[in-house]
Structures are given as structure tokens and as C-alpha cells.
Structure 1
Amino acid sequence: MPNIHELHDERKQLLLQCISGSRAYGLQTPQSDTDYKGIFVAPKKVFYGSHFTDQVANETNDIVYFEWKKFIDLLGKNNPTILELLATPDDCVLYKHPLIAGLRTEDFLSKLCCQTFAGYAQSQIKKARGLNKKISNPVEPERKVIPDFCYVIDGMQVVPLMQWLSDRNFKDTDCGLVKIPHMRDAYALFHNSQLENGFVKGVYSGADANDVLLSSIPKGIQPLSLMSFNKDAYSIHCKEYAQYWEWIEKRNENRYQSTVSHGKNYDAKNMMHTFRLLHMAEEIAREGKIFVRRSDREFLMNIREGKFEYEDLLVRAEEKVQLIEELFEKSKLPEDPDLEKLEELLVRVRDEYYLL
């Protein structure tokens, strides 16, 4: 199988090589990297053998090549990346094999694009909401523990367990719980001082615990109080804590600083590409064409520079999605790409390439 160097630098087995991403869209900035995408044909021996690979990329995934079969498969699904690759502006096409010189995106567009373009854009809106939440609601470095979600009846009021313990100079390790039947996450609360023989297990086993501990308490001993454990809230906290600090660990620091620098607390680059996809979906529905090089560059760059309010962009995006769905309903595009035509193309190009 050709490696990334053989494909990208030596153009072995290559059908197409293009500059992709922001430079193809015309949305690059002085800090933008140069991305590349292309198509290759696996050597005949590899294709029929056991070491076939349908995609080759470098470590950072800014250089990606799709094997011919995967390209055709994704084309049949109206995958945006593949359609954009096929519609790359001429000034970004570095190499094109004569076998695919006549391929046009217009021949493969269908109403599937409503889902693949606008649907994907909607997923990015959801992603933007999640990021906005992370930026606007940072999570403290120390994860909360089970007692932070426990509450105790104290006279005629309910107080946090930790306050109740502090008022009595108790430790949670010296307390024991017994489940109260027929009441969800409700427990009778005892203290070690009430027991002549035996001992309680404590409220919980430690920071990694998923639930409270239960103790064996002799009959006849009255509980000091009743306690409830908000288990649902604790589970949500643990999940959000893990997600937040995983995001902190893996986030692109330069992109994050760019996100917060404009003070709007959303990923402006992500939102820019969301609207690019929405506008492209509208163009496909109206004109039956894909325009990779963006004529709406000024508007998209204004989004990237944080010149819009986050909520305003969400309203605009939702309105645009509704419009796109209506346009595709009325569109004369086929429901799906012609899969038989794609199958013939797959076989013909491979056969002719192997004969060269």
C-alpha cells in the first residue's frame, strides 16, 4: 500500500490531489495551515490482497487521501467532504488524472444533501452549544463527592449533610445509613455513639464511589435523622466533570484563546463553518450546484471574528435550516444519487487504471 509520502510527494497511484479547507473556501487567515485531500487507486496486488486500506493520512490529518472505492461509497452518500473535493476550485487542484477529468458534482447531487449538509450543520450547532456551556460555566478542579448531594431533616427544615455533621462535630465516617423501604434514595441516619457493639461503615466509601454505603444497625435503635441522597444530580455532576476536564486536557489552546478573545464565548471558527455548510445546502437546493469558493466570505469572516452575538447566530441558523428543508422539498433533485452509475464508474476507472 502506498504511504503518505508516496501519495502526497511522489503522486504514486494518484487520481486527484487538491488544496482543501480554508484555502479552497477562500476563508484563510495568515495563521491558516494548508490542508490537502485527494483520491488514489490501491495497487492491484494490494486491492486483491489482505492489506487493503481505504484511507491514508498523516499524523495531524491535514493531509488525507481516499482510496477510489471509499471515495465512490461516500459520493453515493452525498458526503460533504467528498462533494467539496470533487468541486475544488481549479486554482487549488494540483493534479487530476485524465480518467476522472469529466467527473462533475452536479451529476451526483441529490436530496440527501439536505441531511448531509444541513443535518451536519445542526450537529455543529449542538456542539457549539456544548462548548458555550463549558466556557461560560467552568467546573471547579475538585470534584464533588456523595455527601455534597445529601440532605438531612433537622427539626422543621432540611439542611446539607455536611452542615448537619459540622454542627454536631460528627465525621461522615462515623455515621451509618439504613435504606428506608418504598422511598427512593431515602435513608435512616445513625451515629457510631449509638451502638454498644459493632460499628457503622460510614456514609460512602470514597471519592470514586457511585452510591452510599449501608450499615447493619440493631433493631430498636432510633435514627438521629432522615437523609436523602440526590443520586441523579450526583451522576450528572460526575459526567459533566469528566467531560469538562477531558475537554480542558484535549482542547487546542490556540483555538480556545481565539474563541475567548472576542468575548462572545463561542467557537467562532466552528460557527463560521456551520453557516458555510448551511449556505452551501441552500445553493444545492436552489441551483443544483456546489460552490466551494465562498462568495459570502465577508459574512463568514465576520462570524469568525466574533462580530455576532451567540444567540443571534443560533436563531439565524435555525431559521436557515427550516428554509433549507422547504427548498429541498420543492427541489427537482433526485431523492438519491444514481448508485448504478456510481458502480459502473467505480469498476470502469479501476479497470482502466490497472491497464495503464
Structure 2
Amino acid sequence: MTPSDTSLSIDYLRRHNLILFEAVSGSRAYGTDLPHSDTDLKGVFVLPEALYYGLDYVPQVANATNDEVFYELRRFVELLLKNNPTALEILASPADCIRYQHPLFEAFRPAQFLSKLCRQTFAEYAVAQIRKAKGLNKKINNPEPPARKSVLDFCYVTVGAGAQPADKWLSRQGYAAARCGLANVPHLTDLYALFVDLAEVPTLGYRGLVKDAETSNDVLLSAVPKGEVPVAYLSFNRNGYSTYCRVYKEYWDWVARRNAERYENTVQHGKNYDAKNMLHVFRLLRTALEIATTGQLHVRRPDRDFLLRIRRGEFEYDTLVAEAEALVAQVEAAFAKSALPEAPDKQRAVDLLIATRRQFYASL
């Protein structure tokens, strides 16, 4: 019985001999694994004919933790044509990492697909990781307190030719915020006339400066009786408040999502950067440089010791970022004069895809 697209699993692929290729990937393939490193698996499979010819095409299958991922043959070729690093690394898996290879898969070789597109897929991805590292560095060194600032923290009251924070001004004047009222000043954005009800028993009905100090996202306006004179003018730094809210949310979203083990490692080595992230920056850039200069992809890294020193946090953050940015320039120059084609030969890949699928189905 042919499975539905929702019941297709890696176990089903194995039991029905639908796998073309399977290999250990990740740090164990790169040679940067440690004793506690996970064992990740990547592979390529062919859909059962009924699913392929029907409406339930499945591009990939993974286990619950996503440390085992298998790509359907068509999707795999699509990724190869884009010079996707993951697909190319599967194809160039070290011999000691290969767990199974169908005879038909021997026709797929990295040299058929390597091109100048690798400049973008390897190097530009590494650049994105550098930006990510900078963002992480900023978050670690500029943590946001759990208590969120309020609108009033971004309000200032005019005092002579200057201004004071609203809460400080109110305290010095002995005014309660609940006795205050705000009114728009025509033609002036985010500037408000500030009125205070000074009667022993308030009678003017002012609503205060904000509806709720903890939850409000704007100042609160009041109806001001005709003839009342403002005691000062209040400016709300709306853009500053909006930026703060975004940064605050990003920080605490990051706290909620961050990998606890990797964060503890970052704290322990004391250099305030994600060492594993920076390891991959240099792995990707050095791999890209080798592709541009030699036309070959080496998944097993010859610079293992250097990469593990990064992972242990032996280098300063600024030093690594400067070296990575210099390496980016080398990669750009190398691809500019590389003998690699601009892109893989699409028709050749399509012919190989069709021939492989036909032979595979014919053998079942």
C-alpha cells in the first residue's frame, strides 16, 4: 500500500528500499565534532511511483528533531542547481560518512554542479552569519531589563530653553500625573500643551498623561475647558519609544528561543559571541575560497584545529569579525577570476534526473 504524504517517514523509505543515498552530516562530516556532538543524517530518496505521479509530491522527509533529513530526488537536483551548500555537501560526503549509496547515485558528482553561484550561497550566507554574530554580541552586551519602560519614560517637559524627563519634572513640581491633562498643539507633531488641575478637589476632569503606565502605547488627551492656561509643554519621543519596543521584543524573543547549551558555552568562554556560529562563518568562507580556486569541495575540513579553537572561544570577537570580513574580500576576488561556470548545466542535470528516476522505477 502506498503511504499518503502525511504518513511517509524515513523508516518507510528504508523498509521499501527507496533511499538512494544516506550519510552522516554536520560536525562529524566536517571533522569538528566533539565527544558529545549529535549524529546528524542527510540523504536522498525517490518517491513511490504513485505519489510521484499523483498530487502528493513530497520534497523532503525528516524525523521529529530534524537531525535526520532526506530530500526527494527532484528537490535534491533543484537544490544542486542553486548550489545550495547542504545539497553540495551531501554529494561530497567524506567516504567514512557514507552509510549507503545506490549504484544509480554514483552518476551524481560535485564537479557537475559547482559553479560561481557558490559565491552567493556559501559566502553570502557566511556574511549573514557575521551579521547574526554582531546582533548576538549586541544582545549579550546590552541586555534588556525584564521591566518594560513605559510611554512616560519617553516624555519630556519644556523647562526654559531645555527639557526634563516628565516624571522628574512632575516630582519637582509636586504635581500628580492623574491631575494632568494634555491637548494637541496645532501643526506640531507629538508636542502637547500640559495642564494641571490645582484645585484641592479636582473639578476639571483631566484624564492624566497615560491610561495605564504599564500597558499604554500612547499619551492620553483630555478635554480642556476654554480659558485654561498650560503650565508647560510635553514632548513625546514617539520614534524613540517605537524603536525601544522593537528592541525590547527582539531581545526577549531571543531569550525565549536561544539554545541554552550554546548560550551557556558563550557565557563560559567569556568572549560574548556564539562560538559555534563563528566556527561556521570561517568554515563556509574557507570552503568557498577553495571552491573558487581549486574547483573542488572538501567537506572534511583540513583546518579542524583552528575551527575548534574558535569554538573554544580562544579568539577575541573583534579579531574574528575583522578576519572574516577580510576573507570575504578574498572570496569575492577569487570568484571574479575563477574558471568555474556561471551556473551548473541545467539540461545535463535534468537529463540525469530523468534517467535516474526511470531506471530506479524500472528496477522495482
With normalisation by structure 1, the TM-score equals: 0.96
Cα distance in 1 for partners of 2:98, 2:332 equals 32
Q: 1:11 to 1:136 in 2, by over 3 A?
A: farther
Q: Which AA in structure 2 matches 1:119? A: E
The Cα of 1:61 is off from its aligned counterpart by 1.0
| Contact preservation (8 Å) 2:179, 2:202 | no
| Contact preservation (8 Å) 2:197, 2:203 | no
Match of 1:266 in 2: 273
Q: Name stretches of at least 5 consecutive residues in structure 2 with no aligned partner.
A: none
Single out whichever of 51-60 and 289-298 deviates more from structure 2. 51-60
Match of 1:282 in 2: 289
Could you list the per-position Cα deviations for residues 271-302 of structure 1 after superposition, in whole angstroms to 9, with x for gaps in the alignment?
00110000000000000010000001111111
The 3-state SS of whatever aligns with 2:284 is helix
Q: 1:329 aligns with which of 336, 347, 364?
A: 336
Q: Name stretches of at least 5 consecutive residues in structure 1 with no aligned partner.
A: none
Q: 1:71 to 1:201 in 2, by over 3 A?
A: same
Matched, 1:122 2:127: yes
Could you list the per-position Cα deviations for residues 156-184 of structure 1 after superposition, in whole angstroms to 9, with x for gaps in the alignment?
54110011122233333332211222323
The Cα of 1:343 is off from its aligned counterpart by 1.4
Matched, 1:200 2:226: no
Match of 2:99 in 1: 94
| Contact preservation (8 Å) 2:25, 2:39 | yes
Match of 1:237 in 2: 244
| Contact preservation (8 Å) 2:9, 2:63 | no
Q: 1:145 aligns with which of 140, 150, 153?
A: 150
Q: 1:56 aligns with which of 43, 58, 61?
A: 61
Aligned counterparts, 1:252-263, within 5 A: 252-263=259-270
The 3-state SS of whatever aligns with 2:107 is coil
Could you list the per-position Cα deviations for residues 307-329 of structure 1 after superposition, in whole angstroms to 9, with x for gaps in the alignment?
11100111111111111111101
The Cα of 1:155 is off from its aligned counterpart by 3.8
The Cα of 1:198 is off from its aligned counterpart by 4.6
Cα distance in 1 for partners of 2:16, 2:205 equals 75
CA RMSD in angstroms comes to 1.6
Aligned counterparts, 1:112-191, within 5 A: 112-191=117-196
Single out whichever of 241-250 and 113-122 deviates more from structure 2. 241-250
Match of 1:3 in 2: 9
Could you list the per-position Cα deviations for residues 23-62 of structure 1 after superposition, in whole angstroms to 9, with x for gaps in the alignment?
0000001110000000111111111223222111112211
Q: 1:309 aligns with which of 295, 316, 328?
A: 316
Cα distance in 2 for partners of 1:198, 1:162 equals 22
Identical-pair percentage: 49
Q: Which AA in structure 1 matches 2:271? A: K
Single out whichever of 14-23 and 180-189 deviates more from structure 2. 180-189
